[in-house]
Amino acid sequence: MSDHRKDDEILGKAYDAKLMRRLLSYVKPYKGYVTLAILLNIVVAILPSVRPYLTKIAIDDYIANKDFDGLITIAALLLGTLLSQAVVQYFLTYFTELMGQKIIFDIRVQLFRHVERLALKFFDKTPIGRIVTRVTNDVESLNEMFSSGIVSVFSDIFVIIWIFFFMFTMSWDLALVTLSVIPILFYATFLFRKKVREAYRDVRYHLARLNSYMQEHITGMNVVQLFSKEEEELKKFSSINNDYKNANIRSVFYYAIFFPFVELLSAISIGLIIWYGGGEVVQNTLTLGVLIAFLQYTEMFWRPVRDLSEKYNILQTAMASSERIFKLLDDKTFVKNPENPVKLENVKGEIEFKNVWFAYNPGEYVLKDISFKINAGETAAIVGATGAGKTSIINILTRFYDIEKGAIFIDGVDISKVDKRDLRRYISVVLQDVYLFSGTIKSNISLGSGEITEEQIINAAKTVGAHDFIMKLPGKYDEIVKEKGATLSVGQKQLISFARALAYNPKILILDEATSSIDTETEILIQKAIEELLRGRTSIVIAHRLSTIQNADKILVMHKGELKEVGTHQELLARKGIYYKLYQLQYKDQEVIKSN
Ligand code: DCP
Ligand code: MG
Higher pLDDT, 432 or 349: 349
Indicate the DSSP class of residue 448: T
Residues in the chain: 596
Would the pLDDT of 527 be above 60?
Answer: yes
- Residues ≥6 apart with Cβ < 8 Å to 141: 314, 317, 318, 321
Lowest pLDDT segment from 290-299, 363-372, 518-527, 552-561:
518-527
Top pLDDT among 575 and 129 is at 575
**pLDDT at residue number 515:** 61
The pLDDT tens digits of the residues spanning 52-101 come to 999 989 888 888 888 888 889 999 999 999 999 999 989 988 888 888 88
For all residues of the chain together, what is the average pLDDT?
Answer: 84
Could you read off the pLDDT of 197-206 as tens digits, one per residue? 778 778 878 8
- Cα of 579 vs centre of ligand 2, distance in Å, is 18
Q: Which atom of ligand 1 is nearest to the CA of 361?
A: 7
Average pLDDT, stretch 170-192? 88
N- to C-terminal Cα separation, the chain: 52
Cβ(389) – ligand 1 distance below 6 Å = yes
Q: Report the distance separating Cα 321 and Cα 77, nearest Å.
A: 45
Distance 336 CA to ligand 1 centre (A): 22
pLDDT tens by residue, 215-265: 778 877 877 788 888 888 889 899 999 999 998 898 888 888 888 888 898
Per-residue pLDDT tens over the stretch 271-285 = 999 999 999 899 988
Distance, CA 115 to ligand 1 centroid (Å)? 23
Where does the pLDDT of residue 15 fall: very low under 50, low under 70, confident under 90, or very high at 90 and above? Answer: low
Which atom of ligand 1 approaches the CA of 364 most closely?
Answer: 7
Q: Which residues contact 583 (CB under 8 A, 6 or more apart)?
A: 572, 573
What pLDDT is recorded for position 4? 45
> Is 297 or 6 the better-scoring residue by pLDDT?
297
Which secondary structure element, helix H or strand E, spans residue 337, and what is its range? none
Beta-ladder partners of 445: none
In the predicted model, is pLDDT for residue 596 greater than 60?
Answer: no
CATH architecture of 15-329: Up-down Bundle (1.20)
User: Is the pLDDT confidence value at 358 over 90?
Assistant: yes
Over 60: is that where the pLDDT of 294 sits? Answer: yes
Whether the CB-CB separation of 358 and 518 falls below 8 Å is answered with no
Distance of CA 244 to the CA centre of its chain: 22
Judge whether residue 345 has pLDDT over 60.
yes
With contact defined as beta carbons under 8 Å apart, do 57 and 168 qualify?
A: no
Taking the centre of ligand 2 as the mean of its atom positions, its distance from the CA of residue 44, in whole angstroms, is 64
Nearest CA, atom 18, ligand 1: 391
The answer to whether residue 366 scores a pLDDT higher than 90 is yes
Lowest mean pLDDT among 34-48, 119-133, 345-359, 516-530: 516-530
Which of 562, 563, 564, 540 is closest to 553 using CA atoms?
Answer: 540
Between residues 466 and 382, the one the model is more confident about: 382
Closest ligand to 396 CA? 1
pLDDT tens across 556-572, in order? 999 999 998 898 888 88
**pLDDT reported for residue 530:** 80
Domain ranges (residues) in the chain? 15-329, 342-426+539-596
Parallel, antiparallel or unpaired: strands 439-440 and 480-481: antiparallel
3-state secondary structure 60-116: HHHHCCCCHHHHHHHHHHHHHHHHHHHHHHHHHHHHHHHHHHHHHHHHHHHHHHHHH
Q: What is the mean pLDDT of residues 429-445?
A: 81
Question: What is each CA distance from 71 to 76, 84, 555, in whole angstroms?
Answer: 9, 20, 101
Residue 149 has pLDDT above 70, yes or no: no
Residue 272: what pLDDT? 92
Q: Is 382 in the pocket of ligand 1 (CB under 6 A)?
A: no
Ligand 1 in contact with 124 (CB < 6 A)?
yes
Whether residue 137 is predicted with pLDDT greater than 90 in this model: the reply is: no
The Å distance, Cα 512 to ligand 2 centre, comes to 7
Q: Which residue has the higher pLDDT, 123 or 370?
A: 370
- In the chain, the percentage of residues whose pLDDT exceeds 70 is 94
CA-367 nearest atom, ligand 1: 15
Ligand 1: residue of 120, 382, 390 to mutate (most ligand atoms within 8 A of CB) is: 390
> Quick check: CB of 368 below 6 Å from ligand 1?
no
CA 222 – CA 35 distance, rounded (Å): 55
Q: Which region among 356-370, 442-456, 507-521, 525-539 has the lowest average model confidence (pLDDT)?
A: 507-521
Domain 342-426+539-596 matching CATH 2.70.70.10: the answer reads no
Reduce the DSSP state of residue 118 to 3 states and report it.
Answer: coil
CA 429 to ligand 1 centroid distance, Å: 17
Q: What is the dihedral of CA 375, 376, 381, 387, to 10 degrees?
A: 80
